[in-house]
Structure 1
Amino acid sequence: MKKMTKIAAVVASLALGVALLAGCSSAGDTATDGNAADNATNPDAPTLTVGFDAAYPPYGFLGDDGNYVGFDLDLAAEVAERNGWNLQLEPIDWDAKDALLNQGTINCIWNGFTMEGREDGYSFSDPYMLNEQVVVVRADSDIKSLEDLAGKNVMTQVDSAALDVLEDEEGQKALADTFAGGAAQTIGDYNNAFMQLESGAVDAVACDLSIADYQMAAKPDMFVKLDPLSTEHYAVGFAKDGDAAMIDAVNKTLKEMYDDGTIAELCEKWGEYGITIDNWVLVD
């Protein structure tokens, strides 16, 4: 939701998360504690080490009580518990995710992670959630359509799916060429991007649908979204030569969680943050 070192990026992300989310994080049970090591109780069991952006609500972020929370963290915790795995959550510098994955520091990225366009670099789980890339503007803006973005300052997160779409010749590069400066501006996390949008420092933010819905739920009179830039899917990303058995277990367990109603319960829990069962796609 990162050009700094890992430690500095995490500290900065957590500070931003606290500043933006204070007073608006009210989800029920937390997925994890702030030490990023939930249930490491069996030294002989496999460990699911999840890399996530700690400033990427509602999928993973720092709650009011200092715990990491989020829809994807809840999914990971339930999958780990059902498989008897230890769970370790690692807030990461998003720019460093590939290096951390390939080094084995983390063994998956579970963080509202778009799979389209990344298939050659990762082994993915089955897609589990439908997503879109959208553009958000202030409600009092004169921008009413994507065409109105010509000459405007549009911001997105560095190394994000939205940026990929805006830089893709077969995507929305022609649109991005019309932005002020001929391209989208980039920033380390979406929390700060929306602060800049609210202040008027930029005219629009391109982001995931769920991020847009989260920000709009927090400030319903402040923001509106335009038509989507693209449609895509979220999946869990593993290293290209990742553990095939673990990937299969993730797929199987998520389907079981859908069948027994757990997914519906988690979607309801995070519904006020823009999560809906209507976008869940991983079923038998």
Structure 2
Amino acid sequence: MGRFITTTLAGAALALICSQAQADQLEDIKQDGEIVVGVKQDYKPWGYLTSDGELAGLEIDLARDVAERLGVELELVPVVASNRMQFLSQGRIDLIIATMGDNEDRREVVGMIQPNYYAGGTNVLAPKSVGLEEWSDLDGRDVCALQGSYYNKRVTQLYGPNLVAFAGIPEVTSALQNGNCVAFLYDNTWIESQLASDEQWADYEMPFETEDPQAWSIAVPLEELDGPYGQKMSEIVTDWHKTGFLIERNEANGIAPSPFLQEMHEKLK
């Protein structure tokens, strides 16, 4: 009986320690008076650098709202697809808000917050002169892509392009415009935004039917997902949908209406 009591007390103590550890990050953020958020700086209009060198965009608005709700200052750290999860796991940032698709592989590395806050799919940006019509037209051809994008493996397996991967969008778009690849494999949301607003893409198109729709998630460290920090972020995202804040900021940033945002608003309002 004594051993059972001792074991039980030890288990309870361990549970208390784990609970306190989970609460540490949210409390640390509040005590430090600052939250560090990883964002894109090359994904206009979700996250980009203005002519004044300031970060702006829809996801920057979301990061500012998180900081305001927590009553802390905001530090923004530029990230790319290939390093954002690493930065979070290493403690270099507290939160990811960086056009990150939610999938099972990533859920094993970082804490994907539910509900999701946005959604996109896979397509390509290509010169009209190339004449791409079907996904199968990519077979055996050089296609530019971003390192770490979730759709790279799928598209390679299905359609057989030779992917030429780069770390950032400026490098990719430069290669595309220099004719080093026939298309840029990327998220349809970014492509549609560029075609609608940037004259440099007047001779380009998004030729395919968008495939593999995937929801986006903000992310906390994996060990924080079910603790107070993860729960707080889930409450914030839920409120973004419920109040229509995401729809309002989407429109304010000049982004076309999102069926996903409308559906989530109707569901949660």
Pick the TM interval, shorter chain: 0.7 to 0.9
Deviates more, 1:239-248 or 1:67-76: 239-248
Equivalent position to 2:110, from 114, 119, 122: 122
Number of residue pairs the alignment of both structures matches: 231
Q: 1:278 deviation in Å? A: 2.2
Q: 1:57 deviation in Å? A: 2.2
**Structure 1 partner of 2:163:** 184
2:243 counterpart of 1:256: no
CA contact (8 A) 1:135 1:227 kept: no
TM-score by length of 1: 0.73
Matches within 5 A, 1:131-210: 131-166=120-155, 173-175=157-159, 177=160, 179=161, 183-210=162-189
Equivalent position to 2:91, from 99, 104, 124: 104
| AA in 2 matched with 1:230 | D
Q: 1:129 deviation in Å? A: 1.0
**Structure 2 partner of 1:35:** none
SS at match of 1:160: coil
CA contact (8 A) 2:67 2:74 kept: yes
- Please give the alpha-carbon distance, in whole angstroms, between the structure 1 residues aligned to 2:80 and 2:125: 24
Equivalent position to 1:277, from 237, 250, 258: 258
Matches within 5 A, 1:21-36: none
TM-score by length of 2: 0.77
CA contact (8 A) 1:134 1:230 kept: no
Identity %: 19
2:39 counterpart of 1:52: yes
Structure 2 unaligned segments of length 5 or more: list them.
Answer: 1-28
Q: 1:71 deviation in Å? A: 0.9
Q: Which has more helix, going by share of residues?
A: 2
Measured against aligned partners, the alpha-carbon deviations of 1:24-73 in whole angstroms (never above 9, x if no partner) come to xxxxxxxxxxxxxxxxxx97365321112322222222111210112111
Q: 1:93 deviation in Å? A: 5.6
Measured against aligned partners, the alpha-carbon deviations of 1:119-140 in whole angstroms (never above 9, x if no partner) come to 2111111111121011221122
CA contact (8 A) 1:156 1:193 kept: yes
2:55 counterpart of 1:68: yes
Q: 1:115 deviation in Å? A: 1.1
CA contact (8 A) 1:102 1:239 kept: yes
**Structure of greater Rg:** 2
- Please give the alpha-carbon distance, in whole angstroms, between the structure 2 residues aligned to 1:131 and 1:96: 20
**Structure 2 partner of 1:234:** 216
Q: 1:208 deviation in Å? A: 0.9
With over 3 angstroms needed to count, the CA separation of the structure-2 counterparts of 1:282 and 1:88, relative to structure 1, is farther
CA contact (8 A) 1:216 1:222 kept: no
